[in-house]
Amino acid sequence: MPEEVSSKPKSYGVRSHPGRHMAEAMSAFDVLDRLQAVILRERAALAAVARHEGLGPEDAIDCVQEGLCTLLSRRDDLALADDRLRPYLAGIVKNLARNRRRRHDRARPHLPIDALEPDDAPSSEALIARAEEHVRVQACVAQLCDTQRAVVTLRLLEERDGEDVASTLGLTRNHVDVLLHRAKHSLRACLTAS
């Protein structure tokens, strides 16, 4: 008796639901959309974390990119809520920045102490004058209003661009430029008066 050939594929005891694969794909897109929104909101803050650890602008951006790739490779961590994902991602970037800085310091050639010439080092008077100047500048910055102080800190000290500062502070780019101009004028006046 010939064996009947069935047109249905054998299931071998595993039931497959075609809607389940579609739901998993949709949830992956939801996670990526949510992650993209967090990245767009937090990329400047993450770069600032890397810059705070001593990296230059290009290295900071590379560090943020590497941190995002690290996060994407950890699938379970993508399900964290936004309020927990931000500090988690900042921690990843901070550790990567520290590691990158340490690798860079190891790659730099170290000279023996005998090879350093004492004439190259600044004198103690020059170091004291530089420290006094730093204290004067900090005192003048402290006299600025909160908004001007924030603009000076972000724009000049952290070297962020005007658009980024404007979006961080919730101001227009023109307003940031005006605040920076006025702050520079106030700082100049303060430094010449002291």
Q: How confident is the model at residue 26 (pLDDT cuts 50, 70, 90)?
A: very low
pTM over 0.75: no
Alpha carbons 143 and 125: distance in angstroms, whole number? 27
Span 87-117, pLDDT tens digits: 888 888 888 888 887 776 555 555 565 655 5
CATH fit for domain 123-193, picks 1.10.3720.10, 1.10.10.10, 3.40.50.1820, 1.10.260.40: 1.10.10.10
* CATH placement of domain 21-107: 1.10.1740
185 and 144 Cβ atoms separated by less than 8 Å:
no
Alpha carbons 190 and 135: distance in angstroms, whole number? 13
